[in-house]
């Protein structure tokens, strides 16, 4: 019987990742390189807040994509850096995986250059972050609903967004000091729907692990 061929993927690529790659391929390569440099310095924070809301809005406009597409694309890039850091992925393996996921040549080269230049720093940042103590947990959450209307009638609603502020902190005795962090998130209807679908998938996985 012939032996099964080993997977050439340096890290798993989901259907959502493949969709994000299609969006990334539309980004101008020069600007994409600048985005990767920014991500490489913040990916260890794991907050997903690589850019301020104002910067993200400008990027969405510049790249001609929705805020959700931009968020998914940035998270996909962060995922790549994180997987490379934890698995000690080399440039050749990274390039092969990205090409296999459908990423175009110029973008693959930009990613490889970013990893080869910033990889050591990314690994160090992850190592330092891990040595600070236990991960942060949610301490509280506040939310507000904002509705933009053309007049006082709800039937003429133009847009609606929900804003969340999540307070993070460490459990007592967890190390890393008492400094907490507040993360602000804002969703439109579509973004909120995707967010809750992600939460459902996480809950299903937790149920599977604890059953």
Q: 46-93 pLDDT, tens per residue? A: 666 788 888 989 999 999 999 999 999 999 999 999 889 888 889 999
Query: Domain map of the chain by residue range?
Result: 15-131, 137-210
**Contact criterion met (CB below 8 Å) for 79 and 12:** no
**Contact criterion met (CB below 8 Å) for 116 and 39:** no
What is the model's pLDDT at position 168? 77
pLDDT band at 125 (very low <50, low <70, confident <90, very high): confident
pLDDT band at 7 (very low <50, low <70, confident <90, very high): very low
What is the model's pLDDT at position 149? 60
- Per-residue pLDDT, averaged over 142-171, amounts to 70
User: Quick check: 155 pLDDT over 70?
Assistant: no
What is the model's pLDDT at position 198? 81
Instruction: Quote the tokens at residue 17.
Output: 């990742």
pTM: 0.60
What is the model's pLDDT at position 189? 78
What is the model's pLDDT at position 5? 36
Strand order in the sheet with 181-187: 137-149, 157-169, 181-187
Q: CB count, 10 Å around CB of 37?
A: 14
**Contact criterion met (CB below 8 Å) for 42 and 126:** no
**Contact criterion met (CB below 8 Å) for 61 and 19:** no
User: Quick check: 190 pLDDT over 90?
Assistant: no
Cα dihedral across residues 88, 69, 162, 205: positive or negative = negative
């Amino acid at each position: 019987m012939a032996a099964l061929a080993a997977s050439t993927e340096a890290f798993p690529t989901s259907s959502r990742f493949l969709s994000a790659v299609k969006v990334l391929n539309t980004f101008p390569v020069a600007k994409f390189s600048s985005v990767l440099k920014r991500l490489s310095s913040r990916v260890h924070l794991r907050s997903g807040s690589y850019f301020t809301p104002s910067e993200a809005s400008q990027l969405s406009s510049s790249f001609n994509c929705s805020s959700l597409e931009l968020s998914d694309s940035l998270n996909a890039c962060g995922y790549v850096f994180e997987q490379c850091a934890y698995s000690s992925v080399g440039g050749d393996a990274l390039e092969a995986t990205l090409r296999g996921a459908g990423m175009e040549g110029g973008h693959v080269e930009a990613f490889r250059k970013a990893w080869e230049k910033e990889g050591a720093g990314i690994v160090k940042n992850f190592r330092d972050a891990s040595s600070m103590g236990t991960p942060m947990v949610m301490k509280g959450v506040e939310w507000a609903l904002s509705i933009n209307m053309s007049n006082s009638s709800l039937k003429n609603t133009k847009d609606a967004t929900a804003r969340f502020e999540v307070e993070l902190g460490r459990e007592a005795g967890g190390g890393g000091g008492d400094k907490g962090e507040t993360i602000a998130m804002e969703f439109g209807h579509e973004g909120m729907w995707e967010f809750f679908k992600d939460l459902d998938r996480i809950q299903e996985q937790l149920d599977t692990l604890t059953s």
